[in-house]
Amino acid sequence: MHTKRLAFIFLSTGLACCTAWYFFGASKVAAKATDPAASQSTTPVASNGFFGDSSTTLPTSQTPSAASSTSATAGMLQAFNKLQSARSFIHEAIRHPESGGIRYANRAWADCINAAGSTGLMRGLFKVVPGSRESQAEAAIKSKCDITDSDLATLKSASRKYASVDPLSQIGRKSDYAKTSEAHLALAKEVISAGSPILFDKLKYSREYKLAGGQSDYEAYFDGKWYRGGNESAYTEALILAQCEFGMNCGPDSLRTLAQCSDKGWCANSLAESVRIGWSKELPQHVDAVFSLRDKIVAAIKAGDASAFAPGL
């Protein structure tokens, strides 16, 4: 039963966009209906001043420079870690594609959709008590995820125009074509060289296999082994936790940590703590594997060992 419930939790993330209405929908659409300016896809918003420029209107007259550096993308990571308003962050980040802004803006949107949508799906699994940590986490998600349909339109437009000059987006796109071991090795080298934890999910190499009953499932490769079932889920979770070890905010105020609390009741002061709480309840036989794999992934990345992520090489 625990395995089925955890599987439902994973499914909820995939279906999150369908239920994000729970957080964003009614109030934002109602506001748009009464505010004509809300339909403008390039509406300026208050800037967080991440890069010392107060204007956040999407540039349309010139293409940003393709020049990029690790320090530039590191600056974008720092801004992402301080996110208090997803709307302000997205409008500011898309103005700096050369610093990975397109990739990080899309990540902010995805984190909000997952946090808000999965909360709506999981609401029936436990009762949220007013004033509890769960309700506080829910309120924090609503406050941070102040995105409207107009903001999404602006993000989509910027992604189409400027992803080609975003170094992180370019690396991420290569994963769509890295189907062979050799291609994935080349991709893993780029991911590790980029030094940006937002790309670590691209290190995962998966392939389809058939179960005894004829159904299909996926297994993931790492460091000489193929991981299936609960072990594959543990590896996926470990890749997420590895991001925390390279500068991604995984503290109590991060959207992923807040979502773990709000939608599952796994409330803690860090993402790692919440994962340990949840996995100890749902799949205790795999909890040690999650953290062991995280440590091995971190070691491989620090050593620059891209071959650990590509089978047969």
Which among 255, 247, 189 is positioned nearest to 73, based on CA atoms? Answer: 247
Give residue 72's pLDDT band: very low, low, confident or very high (50, 70, 90): confident
Q: What are 157-215's pLDDT values in tens digits?
A: 999 999 999 999 999 999 989 999 999 999 999 999 999 999 999 999 999 998 888 88
- Cα separation, 115 vs 145, in Å, equals 9
* Residue 46 falls inside a structural domain: no
Q: Tell me, yes or no, whether 169 lies in a domain.
A: yes
**Does the residue 222 lie in any domain?**
yes
Whether 246 is covered by a domain: the verdict is: yes
pLDDT digits (tens, 9 = 90+) for 77-93: 999 999 999 999 999 99
User: Who has greater pLDDT, 19 or 189?
Assistant: 189
Q: Which amino acid is at 274?
A: S
| 57 in any annotated domain | no
Is residue 135, in this structure, part of any structural domain at all?
yes
Total structural domains within the chain:
1
DSSP state string for 107-150: HHHHHHHHHHHHHHHHGGGSPPPTTSHHHHHHHHHHHH----HH
Per-residue burial over 171-199, b = 16 or more CB atoms within 10 Å of its CB, e = otherwise: bbeebeebeebeebbebbbbbbebebbbb
Give the confidence band of 306 by pLDDT, cuts at 50, 70, 90.
very high
Q: Which domain holds residue 126?
A: 2-38+67-309
Residue type for 210, please? K
Q: Is residue 184 part of a domain?
A: yes
How much is the pTM?
Answer: 0.77
178 falls within a domain: yes
